[in-house]
Structure 1
Amino acid sequence: MPRVDPGPVLPDDVAQHAVARGILESPMIWRALLLAALVTAYFFFRPRRRVPTRITPPHSLTTRVVVVAALLGLSAVTWLNSYVGYVRTPHDLGLLLQRGTGWAAGFGSSLAAISAADDQYMSNARQALNNAQGGTRPADRPQGDPYAARMDRTTIPDPAHGVPVTAAQTNVMLPPGYDDPANRNRRYPVVYLIHGYPGGSADDWFTAGDAVNTMHQLLERQLVQPMIIVAPTVSAGVPTTDWECLNVPGGPQLESYLTETVVPRIDARYRTIADRRHRAIAGMSGGGFCALNVGLHHVDEYATMLVTLPYDDPGSAVSLLQGNPALIDANTPRRYIPTMPFPYPVAVMLDAGDHAQTDMTTSRRIAAALTARGQKVSMRFEPGLVHTWRTARAALPFLLAFANEQFTS
């Protein structure tokens, strides 16, 4: 295939910030828990001299086994999180627990509120210290920060397309100055961020994806223009299903929901530049397939597609298409790109970890197919990363910078 441009070049500190681990991603957590489990097991089960008069409670052995198993389980969970990078901070953990019910949801709400206040307090404290030392930290956002975004949590239900109000949460990040009366006539380009499958939600790109801090850095360094970021929930109320944003025969019509409902309502409610050239669709993993497939189906609506951890077929979600050959072909980009019409040009950026061979192969295949059709493609591989949220987070500043280039071209 012809050489593909690697995309935008960003300062090293921006790239390094994107791959930095959050406090709950530290490998020290699972190592400490594993050590605690081993030490506990040793003291619980080491050989001892028998004392005839000592009576051991009948439940003591079971209790000991449960304690050690719990520590091992926590070690395994925190190891997985260290590898995947899904829960970065206590605030992220609080938002995740809020998706549950009962005490977990209540605890999650409290944790999210407390940790958000603590994060702001610590951010301000670090900034004061840095200022006193004559330094600056772009990632810290003190009060009155001119680059601080405003988050707007809303719902966009669409029962006709199978999206009930309980599954319609949408997060909208509005750029700095959006509410300033001086900008009341200003309109902004839009990037739609689609979560992964299964188990994704509108929160993911703002927790695991760190979109707020990433955009803050890009704006503060004047690497991108202000833009609106929209993250809808596209799971039809059943997050355990691998929907891939498909229009499912007899089921949710998620592609139609995105293009016919979400986009028009966002354009109606917010000051967007409501044309294809200023609209991008992005996603990771299953959401990356969604961005590619939906974007290519609607080149009149999206001029830019941003895909990380890419797929060019629906994978296990093909079962939702009930074996219909026409539907399967129509939702398999590797099959239809070579013959599809391009009434409008598109720009696509692909990003994967350079330790994920399947993702790299898929990226190259998509890039070759699109460049053969005369479309603009950039491709980047993140050093040392695989198919996880850590890779998507590392990719995000480059994807947004690529979108900005298309918005301003």
Structure 2
Amino acid sequence: MGLTSKVVLAVVAASAVALFAATVWLWPRLARRSAAAVTGRVGLLLATQLMLFASVGLAANNAFLFYGSWADLFGQKQELGVVSDHTDGGPGSRNMTRIGTQRPDVPGGGVPTAGGRIDKVVVSGRLSGIESPAYVYLPPEYFRSEYAKRTFPAVVVLTGYPGTAENLLKGLRYPQTAHERVKAGKAQPMILVMLRPTVAPPRDTECVDIPKGPQTETFFAKDLPEAISQSYRVGKQARNWGIIGNSTGGYCALKIGLHHPDRYAASAGLSAYYKAAEDPTTGDLFHGRQELRDRADLMWTLENRPPSGGSFLVTTSRQGEGNLRSTMRFIDKVKAPAQVSSIVLDSGGHNFTTWRREIPPALEWLSGRLSAQ
């Protein structure tokens, strides 16, 4: 059974209750001072505490989807089997392979023309050499005859670290929100390309090109848009592409958009930070090269590089977020021809609850800055 299974949570919670009841029932019998009695008391207490903590941990993980599987929890890389499609006209280029499909959790999700479709794919970077799984949400309009000759704008959606792509489907509900915004007339139909920025797990590459290491920036700036454009009806111009993410994914989105306005016209960072982290999870990102460290600092880039184009959206809150001051600095430093917008909540922490409040207006903002042609 999977880590996020409700059955697993129920079994662990029931075990905690049973152990608590057993402790209360057996405690009088274990009140003696013998070695066996002491060992029994210690064992019951430890087992009860362990099940209690496991129950709380599983409940929290199910709510916020920090980890999507046991392998993800224990830092094990999961190798994906690859099955190529050759007969149904589906995605199948040398840069991307579809390995499965699933129905979106929306009304009519079983019929593509009503609810759209989610493809599970593997993207193989031609320039970076990186291979990464992703989910591609295709809106219902993609399958309707009146849109058969139309291209669609695409938005790359990134998780935080060490999140999983499933977080974007289950916890943050991007496909459902996009579907609702279109039905409400608030946004245009867009293709969502959902994945985590951790393309070389378990290492956090901070979306930079590491000397003699993973070329993550190249993957997101060049390989990913190329692969998607070859496989789906997506335009190849910057005005056709946006990128959004939360936390580490938010930093990545802003960084990629700032450095590559020729590829992404709009970039949104939810609860983003503005300088590459350097800690045990990242390893040595820059190999002593200060120019690379500076380039990964968004404030330094805004201060020292000529203004670039593109539109940026940043989010924070007056209470609960630690990035309020740095977000205000980022806003002040963005100069024309670039444009910057913001969402500032009165309160909201660094969590899924806050991001679910920001995603609907963020998707509307992206929709208003992207073109289908």
Separation in 2, partners of 1:318, 1:98: 21
Q: What is the match of residue 163 of structure 1? A: 130
Q: What is the match of residue 185 of structure 1? A: 149
Separation in 2, partners of 1:34, 1:361: 46
The answer as to whether partners of 1:353 and 1:387 remain within 8 angstroms in 2 is no
Gaps of 5+ in 1: 1-21, 88-92, 106-115, 121-138
1:43 corresponds to which letter in structure 2?
Answer: V
1:96 corresponds to which letter in structure 2?
Answer: S
Moved more, 257-266 or 355-364: 355-364
Choose from 108, 117, 126 the match for 1:150: 117
2:52 corresponds to which letter in structure 1?
Answer: L
2:143 corresponds to which letter in structure 1?
Answer: D
1:249 to 2:214 alignment: no
Indicate how the Cα distance of structure 1 residues 282 and 318 shifts in structure 2: closer, same or farther if over 3 A, else same: farther
Moved more, 281-290 or 205-214: 205-214
1:70 corresponds to which letter in structure 2?
Answer: L
Indicate how the Cα distance of structure 1 residues 187 and 80 shifts in structure 2: closer, same or farther if over 3 A, else same: same
Q: What is the match of residue 270 of structure 1? A: 232
Separation in 2, partners of 1:398, 1:323: 40
1:283 corresponds to which letter in structure 2?
Answer: G
Q: What is the match of residue 296 of structure 1? A: 258
Report the secondary structure of 1:301's partner residue.
coil
Deviations 1:283-318 (A, max 9, x none): 111111111111111111111011101111002248
1:377 to 2:344 alignment: no
Q: What is the match of residue 70 of structure 1? A: 50
Indicate how the Cα distance of structure 1 residues 141 and 180 shifts in structure 2: closer, same or farther if over 3 A, else same: closer
1:237 to 2:221 alignment: no
Q: What is the match of residue 310 of structure 1? A: 272
Separation in 2, partners of 1:50, 1:252: 59
Q: What is the match of residue 43 of structure 1? A: 24
The answer as to whether partners of 2:164 and 2:196 remain within 8 angstroms in 1 is yes
Deviations 1:213-247 (A, max 9, x none): 111211221211111001234423323x2211110
Q: What is the match of residue 90 of structure 1? A: none
1:205 to 2:173 alignment: no
1:360 to 2:324 alignment: yes
Choose from 133, 139, 160 the match for 1:175: 139
The answer as to whether partners of 2:127 and 2:223 remain within 8 angstroms in 1 is no
The answer as to whether partners of 1:285 and 1:308 remain within 8 angstroms in 2 is yes
Separation in 1, partners of 2:155, 2:291: 30
Indicate how the Cα distance of structure 1 residues 362 and 318 shifts in structure 2: closer, same or farther if over 3 A, else same: farther
The answer as to whether partners of 1:33 and 1:74 remain within 8 angstroms in 2 is no
Gaps of 5+ in 2: 79-101
1:194 to 2:134 alignment: no
Indicate how the Cα distance of structure 1 residues 57 and 215 shifts in structure 2: closer, same or farther if over 3 A, else same: same
Report the secondary structure of 2:165's partner residue.
coil
Greater RCO, 1 or 2 (C-alpha within 8 Å, sep 6+):
1
Indicate how the Cα distance of structure 1 residues 375 and 236 shifts in structure 2: closer, same or farther if over 3 A, else same: closer
Q: What is the match of residue 220 of structure 1? A: 183
**Larger % of strand: which?**
2
Choose from 334, 337, 358 the match for 2:299: 334
Choose from 254, 260, 285 the match for 1:320: 285
Separation in 2, partners of 1:43, 1:74: 20
Q: Give matches, 1:6-25, under 5 Å.
A: none
Q: What is the match of residue 88 of structure 2? A: none
Report the secondary structure of 2:323's partner residue.
helix
1:359 corresponds to which letter in structure 2?
Answer: N
Query: What is the number of equivalent residue pairs in this alignment?
Result: 336
The answer as to whether partners of 2:139 and 2:179 remain within 8 angstroms in 1 is no
2:305 corresponds to which letter in structure 1?
Answer: M
Separation in 1, partners of 2:70, 2:350: 24
Separation in 1, partners of 2:226, 2:208: 19
Give percent identity, aligned residues only. 22
Deviation at 1:319, TM superposition (A): 3.7
CA RMSD, 1 decimal = 3.7
Following TM superposition, the consecutive aligned residue runs of length 4 or more in structure 1 with deviations greater than 6 angstroms are 32-35, 49-52, 54-59
Q: Give matches, 1:56-95, under 5 Å.
A: 60-61=40-41, 63-78=43-58, 80-81=60-61, 85-86=64-65
Separation in 2, partners of 1:51, 1:331: 64
Indicate how the Cα distance of structure 1 residues 48 and 401 shifts in structure 2: closer, same or farther if over 3 A, else same: same
Structure 1-normalised TM-score? 0.71
Q: What is the match of residue 351 of structure 1? A: 315
Report the secondary structure of 2:350's partner residue.
coil
1:96 to 2:57 alignment: no
Deviation at 1:408, TM superposition (A): 5.6
Deviations 1:60-110 (A, max 9, x none): 44642343122221244146448x7226xxxxx8x5347579xxx9xxxxx
Separation in 2, partners of 1:237, 1:293: 18
Deviation at 1:206, TM superposition (A): 1.4
**Larger % of helix: which?**
1
Q: What is the match of residue 133 of structure 1? A: none
The answer as to whether partners of 2:160 and 2:196 remain within 8 angstroms in 1 is no
